[in-house]
């Protein structure tokens, strides 16, 4: 296929070519893979500045998206690649082949650097979903940081650079520029730009930016960073966000409130407890959805309010395909008990959905993965259970609301009133506001 680049795609490619360290924050659907590959082709086969490129991506994206993009476009003909996924033998064979581009899933970064026995001789690094390296304590971050000095060029791609706040940026830019802009140490970064927020005596649970910190951080990273939003460059259909409230009865509310206050409750003769705040949060989300696991993983039903609301929404869709996002395994089990649904897990499932063969589908946003296009199969998404992760939330919504979608996208959120559901929705909106401010601050100006 002939590649006729949009102006914004040419701009982004040139930005990568002219910046050895580049943070490219692109919304889903803007073509970050072909933008990067066009730059890679130039660097490898035209200017001969780069010999070997390592692309790190989520598993499904590494297996499907990057290889298909290389094969798809005429102007990339001659660019050789090798996909290093699968078992250890298959990965070593793939990495031993002669190619310009090597593609590996992010879970195997530590293996490649510390356990494979192969030399790390890549002179360019492309990290698809830079936000995967936001944790400075993760093995993949520490491993990649150890070989970063040997890499000439680094490109970080993502649409969600600060899904949990600006603290995420330190690790991401530490990989990109070796600490030049936000410092070499996370403690100094925190001390310079943040203050303790939620804490218990000496234990600090979260941080918030000090006055003026956001602007200072944006200024520090602006010279190697560009951002682009889909709505600025693509004509997307309207997106309607809808909240559908449900309410527990008095007895169910009492169970929920008792557990929330005392972190222990008796439900149908079973004792449920939470050892800490994190466990409590997860169990409260389960209860809001209508079910909870006992200590020995038995499923205890509390209410069916969300299932009733889901039935109304499916009926209101009037035969149009519906995609349901669930979080807990027992959510999926109860949905399958009540409705004729098919879970999207394999490539065949996704193909059938996009072909219009599945009236009602369910999917877990964490297991569905990134880089999956679902816009051809429907335009209605229902959040049965919510997630605290802004990244997963936005990625899931963008499965339907993206280029190629022909209908108005309707995203329903079933919210159990008076529960942690309301806190999650508020947190997602707050995180989105922080991330939007970052993206606006480094927005590309094609003019």
The tens digit of pLDDT for each residue in 172-224 reads 999 999 999 999 999 999 999 998 877 776 777 778 889 999 899 999 999 99
Within this chain, do residues 61 and 181 fall inside the same structural domain, yes or no?
yes
Within this chain, do residues 241 and 260 fall inside the same structural domain, yes or no?
no
Predicted local distance difference test score (pLDDT) of residue 187 = 92
**Residue 272 belongs to what domain range?**
252-302
Within this chain, do residues 142 and 269 fall inside the same structural domain, yes or no?
no
Average pLDDT (30-41) is 93
Predicted local distance difference test score (pLDDT) of residue 341 = 95
- 427 lies in some domain: no
As a whole number, the mean pLDDT across the chain is 89
- 360 lies in some domain: yes
Query: What is the CATH classification number for the domain harbouring 24?
Result: 3.40.50.10810
Residue 131, pLDDT > 80, answer yes
- 425 lies in some domain: no
Q: Which two tokens stand for residue 379?
A: 């335009």
Query: What is the CATH classification number for the domain harbouring 322?
Result: 3.40.50.300
Read off the pLDDT of residues 50-66 as tens digits, 9 standing for 90 and up: 999 999 998 878 988 89
Within this chain, do residues 132 and 228 fall inside the same structural domain, yes or no?
yes
Predicted local distance difference test score (pLDDT) of residue 193 = 93
- Least confident range from 4-8, 353-357, 433-437: namely 433-437
Do the beta carbons of residue 81 and residue 101 sit within 8 Å?
A: yes
The Cα-based distances of 37 to 5, 25, 62, 108, 176 in angstroms read: 12, 16, 13, 22, 18
Average pLDDT (342-348) is 90
Predicted local distance difference test score (pLDDT) of residue 179 = 94
Which helix (H) or strand (E) segment holds residue 130: the answer is none
Within this chain, do residues 181 and 146 fall inside the same structural domain, yes or no?
yes
Residue 266, pLDDT > 70, answer no
- 2 lies in some domain: no
Neighbours of 373 (CB within 10 A): 19
Predicted local distance difference test score (pLDDT) of residue 369 = 59
Within this chain, do residues 298 and 329 fall inside the same structural domain, yes or no?
no
The Cα-based distances of 413 to 163, 230, 305 in angstroms read: 19, 23, 13
**Higher-confidence position of 376 and 16:** 16
Predicted local distance difference test score (pLDDT) of residue 161 = 82
Q: How many domains does the chain have?
A: 3
Within this chain, do residues 170 and 226 fall inside the same structural domain, yes or no?
yes
Residue 29, pLDDT > 80, answer no
Within this chain, do residues 61 and 203 fall inside the same structural domain, yes or no?
yes
Read off the pLDDT of residues 274-331 as tens digits, 9 standing for 90 and up: 768 788 888 899 999 999 887 777 888 999 999 999 999 998 887 899 999 999 999 9
Within this chain, do residues 214 and 269 fall inside the same structural domain, yes or no?
no
Within this chain, do residues 402 and 287 fall inside the same structural domain, yes or no?
no
CA-nearest of 271, 277, 268, 329 to 303 is 268
**Predicted structure pTM score:** 0.72
CA atoms within 13 A on the CB side of 232: 16
Predicted local distance difference test score (pLDDT) of residue 60 = 78
- 410 lies in some domain: yes
Within this chain, do residues 293 and 328 fall inside the same structural domain, yes or no?
no
- 428 lies in some domain: no
Predicted local distance difference test score (pLDDT) of residue 386 = 93
The three-state (H, E, C) secondary structure of 376-430, written as one string: CCCCEEEECCCCCCHHHHHHHHHCCCCCCCCCCEEEEEEEECCCHHHHHHHHHHH
Within this chain, do residues 54 and 186 fall inside the same structural domain, yes or no?
yes
Average pLDDT (378-406) is 89
Read off the pLDDT of residues 78-99 as tens digits, 9 standing for 90 and up: 999 999 999 999 999 999 999 9
**Higher-confidence position of 243 and 445:** 243
Predicted local distance difference test score (pLDDT) of residue 155 = 98
Do the beta carbons of residue 331 and residue 293 sit within 8 Å?
A: no
- 388 lies in some domain: yes
- 431 lies in some domain: no
């Amino acid at each position: 296929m002939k590649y006729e680049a949009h102006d914004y795609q040419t701009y982004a490619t040139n930005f990568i070519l002219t910046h050895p360290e580049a943070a490219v924050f692109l919304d889903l659907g803007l073509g970050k893979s072909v933008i990067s590959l066009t730059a890679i082709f130039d660097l490898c086969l035209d200017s001969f500045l780069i010999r070997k490129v390592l692309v790190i991506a989520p598993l499904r994206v590494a297996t499907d998206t990057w290889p298909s993009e290389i094969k798809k476009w005429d102007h990339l003909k001659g660019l050789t690649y090798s996909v290093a996924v699968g078992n250890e033998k298959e990965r070593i064979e793939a990495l031993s082949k002669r190619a310009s581009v090597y593609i590996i899933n992010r879970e195997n970064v530590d293996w490649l650097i510390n356990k494979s026995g192969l030399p790390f001789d890549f002179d360019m690094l492309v990290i698809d979903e830079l936000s995967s390296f936001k944790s400075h304590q993760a093995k993949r971050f520490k491993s990649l940081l150890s070989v970063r000095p040997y890499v000439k060029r680094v490109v970080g791609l993502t649409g969600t650079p600060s899904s949990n706040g600006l603290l995420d940026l330190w690790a991401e830019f530490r990989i990109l520029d070796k600490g030049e802009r936000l410092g070499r140490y996370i403690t100094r970064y925190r001390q310079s730009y943040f203050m303790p927020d939620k804490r218990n005596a000496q234990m600090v649970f979260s941080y918030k930016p000090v006055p003026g910190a956001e602007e200072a951080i944006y200024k520090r990273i602006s010279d190697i960073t560009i951002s682009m939003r889909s709505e600025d460059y693509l004509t997307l259909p309207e997106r309607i966000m809808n909240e559908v409230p449900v309410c527990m009865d008095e007895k169910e509310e009492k169970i929920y409130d008792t557990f929330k206050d005392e972190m222990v409750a008796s439900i149908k003769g079973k004792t449920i407890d939470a050892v800490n705040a994190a466990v409590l949060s997860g169990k409260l989300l389960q209860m809001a959805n209508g079910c909870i696991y006992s200590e020995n993983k038995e499923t205890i039903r509390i209410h069916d309010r969300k299932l009733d609301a889901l039935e109304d929404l499916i009926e209101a869709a009037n035969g149009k395909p519906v995609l349901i996002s669930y979080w807990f395994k027992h959510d999926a089990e109860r949905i399958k008990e009540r409705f004729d649904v098919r879970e999207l897990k394999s490539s065949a499932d996704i193909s059938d959905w996009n072909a219009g063969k599945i009236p009602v589908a369910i999917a877990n946003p964490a297991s569905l993965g990134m880089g999956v296009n679902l816009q051809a199969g429907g335009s209605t998404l229902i959040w049965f259970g919510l997630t605290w992760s802004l990244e997963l939330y936005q990625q899931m919504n963008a499965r339907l609301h993206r280029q190629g979608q022909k209908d108005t996208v309707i995203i329903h959120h079933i919210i159990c009133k008076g529960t942690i559901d309301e806190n999650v929705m508020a947190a997602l909106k707050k995180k989105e506001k922080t991330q939007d401010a970052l993206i606006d601050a480094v927005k590309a100006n094609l003019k």
